[in-house]
A and B are shown apart, each in its own frame.
Chain A
């Protein structure tokens, strides 16, 4: 028990600091790299929660593709590689207020709603938790109960692909 908590807390702190780095960094590339840290941390959290399949998919897709995409985008939208100027607009403080406000509302609601409920990781419940994250279970669910959303998502991907090409086309 204690081990998982410790890991969790380390990961949590790292993720939060990295997230703040994403939104406060004055260098775009640095922001992207901080985002990598956040995503890696997320993947580690998934493993803590016995969802290995999701964790690895996170790593492959998010860190492997999405971040690369981001870096390409950064590259294509900064003619001179180098200093970025001021990356924050003029509503920083209202945004901070809103963010803090939302955080407060959400946190208090969550604590009020869920109190001290625990995720079972030991004993019979723990075995069940583990069984939830098995690939076989997930595959079974996808292709049996959620096959239609699966198909639709594939069409969505196709549409996104075509759309991105069309939008970014130079003519």
Chain B
């Protein structure tokens, strides 16, 4: 297996995740896109771990998963709060910092 195929796959997934973060209106969907990006990163890490015979890559991937989980929890709590205050999960409504 060529290393690059994993890496390019990861890159493509990452970029789709980027699109999702930028283009999605719903806060939950944005978080999902972030998960997509994190998964892409994980694939990258594990691919290199297998290529370099270094288990540290996998350890790193484990940590990423853990942290992703924590992050989703807090993120959703925030989206909930936004929903509660604005009565809509629409991120376009969140513009109090408008200049």
Q: Please indicate the chain B residues that have their CB under 8 angstroms from the CB of A81 in the complex.
A: none
Instruction: Find the B residue at minimum CB distance from A133.
Output: B58
| Interface, chain B (partner A; CB < 8 A) | 1-9, 11-20, 22-29, 31-33, 35-36, 39, 42-43, 46-47, 49-51, 53-56, 58-59, 61-63, 65-74, 76-81, 83-84, 89, 91-92
Question: Does residue A10 face the partner (Cβ distance < 8 Å to B)?
Answer: no
Instruction: Find the A residue at minimum CB distance from B71.
Output: A160
Interface of B, helix, strand, loop or mixed by DSSP? helix
What is the CA–CA distance of A66 and B28 in the complex, to the nearest angstrom? 12
Instruction: For the complex formed, measure the closest distance between the CB of A85 and the CB atoms of chain B, giving whole angstroms.
Output: 8
| Interface, chain A (partner B; CB < 8 A) | 1, 4-5, 8, 12, 15-16, 19-20, 22-23, 28, 31-32, 35, 38-39, 42, 45-46, 48-51, 53-54, 57-58, 61-62, 65-66, 69-70, 72-74, 76-78, 84, 86-89, 91-92, 94-96, 98-100, 102-103, 106-107, 110-111, 114-121, 125, 128-129, 131-133, 137-138, 141-142, 145-146, 149, 153, 156-157, 159-161, 163-165, 167-168, 170
What is the CA–CA distance of A61 and B61 in the complex, to the nearest angstrom? 12
Candidates A46, A69, A72, A125; contact of B46 at CB < 8 Å: A46
What is the CA–CA distance of A46 and B49 in the complex, to the nearest angstrom? 11
Contact B28 A38 (CB under 8 A): no
Q: List 14 A-B contacts (CB under 8 A).
A: A16-B16, A23-B24, A35-B35, A38-B13, A45-B6, A51-B58, A58-B65, A70-B76, A89-B25, A95-B23, A99-B22, A107-B8, A142-B62, A164-B74
The tally of CB-CB contacts under 8 A between chains A and B is 253
What is the CA–CA distance of A12 and B36 in the complex, to the nearest angstrom? 14
What is the CA–CA distance of A96 and B6 in the complex, to the nearest angstrom? 22
Contact B15 A102 (CB under 8 A): yes
Contact A66 B80 (CB under 8 A): no
What is the CA–CA distance of A20 and B13 in the complex, to the nearest angstrom? 9
Instruction: Find the B residue at minimum CB distance from A115.
Output: B4
What is the CA–CA distance of A86 and B74 in the complex, to the nearest angstrom? 25
Contact B89 A89 (CB under 8 A): no
Q: Please indicate the chain B residues that have their CB under 8 angstroms from the CB of A167 in the complex.
A: 74, 77-78, 80-81
